Structure 1
Amino acid sequence: MSESGVAEIFGAQWPRLVATLRADLGDLDLAEDAAQHAFAAATERWHRDGAPDVPGAWLLTVARRWAIDQARRDARWAQREDAVRAALELPQRERGSISDDLLAMVFGCCHRALDEPARVALTLRYVVGIPTASIARSFLVPEQTMAKRLVRAKQKIAASRVPFEVPDRAHLAGSLYEVLKVVYVIYTQGHAAPSGELVRGDLCDEARWLAATLCEMLPDEPETWGLAALLAYTDARRPARLDDAGDVVLLRDQDRSTWDAASIAEGRRLLGRALRLRRVGSYQLQAAIAGAHASSPRFEDTDWSTIRRLYAVLGRIEPSAVVTLNEAVAASLEEGPEAGLALLAPLATDLDGYHYFHLARADMLAATGDRVAARFAFDRALALCENDTERRAIARVAAEKSA
């Protein structure tokens, strides 16, 4: 079997294998080690003999047997050898499905006892299966630094006794909010990284896979469908976001014929599924906003009035200065720059360190004809922006509108 074939099976089986082993063995480190051993064995065996008919079952058996051997050799696991052995000898015992194990893994990695960077890193490593080196590149830190962060996060899991379980109905909403936020952060890290490479398609793809998996496992939760719709709509614009030179193409200038029609259709389907559950939430509103952009054949045809109203509703459900900033942008494009500036004024203190605030304000000031004030605002946006690709775009717009 080819290396690409093994890699494809790895991508499909890693999340389920680690989740099942963690549920069996009760320890994330041992589960990861066992899974890695199983895939190492598969790489050697399958190249020679070909993959078995049921690769997942083969990997699980090999991993469990390795865990038994480790329990015998390692004093740390000696007291748990019986439990580990039971996992091997009773593979058909009554227990939750692999989907339940995977869902429990997601909730454990996203537990609120952990800080957000740890949740994101753990989810990427143990749910998605991204190598530590790749996660380190996403966070722009050395691999050794990320490895230490993962170790500290696992120590926090042990010390805080973080449960790897699906919360009961009474506690699901709060925990699900944290899970969806992690998925959204992963997507954002791929869609508009704060520094380094602006677009990381691999992270976008993994976030969409996670969102789709959550929809499959939690079909009655409308916000999972809302998030999946938001990511589909937003990702449809990926082909048009950078030009051939790797520079940012602003939304108003993008070639909409290159937008992914299949992703737009998927976003429409997913949002429809969410809305049929009749419990509107923030991700559904954001998806509706993204859908309004996606349905406009030209920037000039955008329904800014609807987008503004949606942002206003979103601001009531989930108050945020950034939401108000977006409402202000919509207001400026619906009514004129003065309307947008009036909404921006109260945000000056809260968003002073946010380069998108100064960029929006600069654009509005330029539209009023105040080129001097616009220049200062563009300069502030440039000073705060850390991504070189975005900085080039800001500089280009500043030269056009405030020179």
Structure 2
Amino acid sequence: MEAARIVATLTRIVGDIGLAEDLAQEALVDALTQWPSSGVPRNAGAWLTTVAKRKAIDLWRRQDNLDVKYAELARDLELHTEELWDPDRIDDDVLRLIFIAAHPSLSREAQIALTLRIVGGLTVDEIARAFLTSKATVAARITRAKKSLAGAAFEVPDRAEFAPRLSAVLSVIYLIYNEGYSASAGQRWVRDELCSEALRLGRVLQALTPDEPEVHALVALMEFQASRFAARTDADGNPVLLEDQDRTRWDRSQIQRGVRSLQRADRAREQRDSGRGPYALQAALAECHAVAPTAADTDWTRIVALYDALRRIAPSPVVELNRAVAIAMADGPGAALPIVNGITGLAGSYLVPSVRGELLARLGRGAEAAAEFTAAAALTANEAEREVLLKKAARAAGSAR
């Protein structure tokens, strides 16, 4: 839970992301050895940071040419050993770490992969699924990025340097949130700690860049999506799909925060005389669902129009698939099925067969729908998602008898 803050603090001190991560992991090994007998300390994050700093001192002691750094760290350790660790405090060190990983010397893919691994705490497998690429490719990107950043200055760049990094920073926050909102693997449907951290980082960035429309738009998108958390699972933790959710459980104050952030994005955009960007369009899509009193009141025609705009500026197989779902709701499943059948670029993903199964079920083709749901279930690594798909397959098969 505190990994990002610990690694960020250590990176600021030692000036090396890879070394900082190693020191944090060594401190955790010490904790796993000592805590079973001594108990977990009241401020576990501070304990881990202090132990990691001491390990850095031991390392520098073995390197005679780093006496100055050793003295500086020793003074810092003496002054701040008893400092309370406040997990709710907005810690700029985390944001600094995101900006470091978005260094212009790295490729965009490397920037995002490195930050998702260190700040988001995502596994290499999870990052590979987000990029729709292989685990080996992602691991190589992260290793090269760490080597490239050894010794880089640990600082938020001047505002004049924000532009070349901001897009990557937004992408990282967005992907961290997505992994939390719909976990790609494991038993949990939602990883709320990732969503909370992404939203916190988005709000910090919003305060630092008040004139950036896409920053406000991304915060709006996350607010709208987070407003549904209480209704996304039942009392036993089972997933509840959007159309079946109890909308009285949606957080209306969070929806209003989303509305205000989207309005701020539009005002900032109008000052630049530009069109809505991809995050603003996605936020507008989320707003359509958030403000509809019931599922039947959803304005699907407007949603289709928004997806048309989104695919013009940010085309992707996922956007095309979501657009097909909206067309199915607006014009019927028969209009959407040819679109889904023509989508390429999502090989190995459960998304296409799961949507195709929905459309076939609505067309009364139960046996074909059951086969698609079963295929989708075999492709997902999330156990909750798999259970939902297998239940749909059973219902579709039953309707075909």
Give TM-score, length-normalised by structure 1.
0.72
What is the percent sequence identity of the aligned residues?
37
The answer to which of 219-228 and 286-295 deviates more is: 219-228
Question: Contact between 1:358 and 1:378, CA under 8 Å: does it hold in 2?
Answer: yes
Task: Name which of 283, 294, 307 aligns with 1:311.
Answer: 307
- 2:93 matches 1:104: no
Distance 1:100 1:337 in 2: 48
Measure, in 1, the Cα distance between the counterparts of 2:223 and 2:201: 12
Summarize the alignment of residues 372-383 of structure 1 with structure 2, pairs less than 5 Å apart. 372-383=367-378
How far, CA to CA, are the matches of 2:239 and 2:125 in structure 1? 19
Other-structure match for 2:177: 187
Q: 247, 250, 255: which one pairs with 2:241?
A: 250
* CA–CA separation in structure 2 for the residues paired with 1:101 and 1:377: 46
Q: How many residues align?
A: 354
The answer to whether the Cα contact below 8 Å between 1:296 and 1:302 also exists between their aligned partners in 2 is yes
Q: What is the SS of the residue equivalent to 2:179?
A: helix
Over 3 Å counting, the alpha-carbon distance change for 1:329 and 1:25 in structure 2 is same
Q: Counterpart of 2:83?
A: none
* Equivalent position of 1:26 in the other structure: 15
Q: Distance in 2 between matches of 1:162 and 1:217?
A: 25
- Residue of structure 2 aligned with 1:124, choices 120, 124, 133: 120
Which residue type is aligned with residue 302 of structure 1? T
Deviates more, 1:287-296 or 1:191-200: 191-200
Q: Distance in 1 between matches of 2:316 and 2:395?
A: 31
2:321 to 290, 313, 325: 325
CA contact (8 A) 1:122 1:150 kept: no
1:302 counterpart = 2:301? no
Give deviations 1:98-128, integer Å, cap 9, x for gaps.
9876543211234444364432121136xxx
Match of 2:231 among 221, 240, 246: 240
Q: How does 1:41-190 map to 2 (within 5 A)?
A: 70=58, 73-75=61-63, 78-82=64-68, 85=71, 102-111=94-103, 112-113=106-107, 114=110, 116-124=112-120, 153=142, 156-159=145-148, 161=150, 163=152, 164-166=154-156, 172-190=162-180
Most deviating of 257-266 and 378-387: 378-387
Residue 393 of structure 2 aligns with an amino acid whose one-letter code is: A
Provide the rounded CA distance (Å) in 2 between the counterparts of 1:242 and 1:305.
28
Q: For the residues of structure 2 that align with 1:182 and 1:31, how far apart are their CA atoms? A: 20
Distance (whole Å) between structure 1 residues aligned to residue 353 and residue 5 of structure 2: 44
Hey, what's the Cα distance between the residues in 2 that align with 1:84 and 1:123? 26
Q: Distance in 1 between matches of 2:235 and 2:59?
A: 54
Query: What's 1:365 paired with?
Result: 360
What is the match of residue 339 of structure 1? 335
SS in 2 for 1:277: helix
Deviation at 1:223, TM superposition (A): 1.6
> Higher mean Cα deviation, 197-206 or 21-30?
21-30
Structure 2: gaps of 5 or more residues: 32-41, 77-89, 128-137
Structure 1 position 261 matched with structure 2 position 247: no
CA change 1:123–1:151 in 2 (3 A) is farther
Q: Secondary structure at the match of 1:124?
A: coil
CA–CA distance in structure 1, aligned partners of residues 174 and 353 of structure 2: 24
Shift of 1:152: 9.8
